[in-house]
Amino acid sequence: MTVMLYALSTCPYCRMTKKYLDENDVEYDVIDVDLLEADERTVVVADVKNLSGGTSFPVLVVGEEVIVGFNKAAMKEHLGL
């Protein structure tokens, strides 16, 4: 199952989510959206809007599930932790 994290380098919930995934040995890809070059950022932000319906971070994509914010209960459920 692919796990993808869209994050901002400045966001407390993003840091908490990364820490939680690391502590639970979850393999995931991460993009810090605010650190992208302007053109690339526009494309990725559009992807995030499509996925989550907004521009709040983090957005964690677990297979078909999209989790916005630091939502431990949802992560546990969908990552099978």
User: Which residues are at the interface with another protein (CB under 8 A)?
Assistant: 8, 10-14, 16, 33-34, 38, 41-42, 45, 48, 53-57, 68-72, 74
Task: Name the minimum Å distance from CB 72 to another protein.
Answer: 7
Closest CA to 58 of 46, 47, 69, 71: 69
Q: Which of 66, 19, 63 is nearest to 47 (CA)?
A: 66
**Shortest distance (Å) from residue 30 CB to another protein:** 15
Beta bridge partners of 31: 6
Nearer to another protein, 3 or 7 (CB): 7
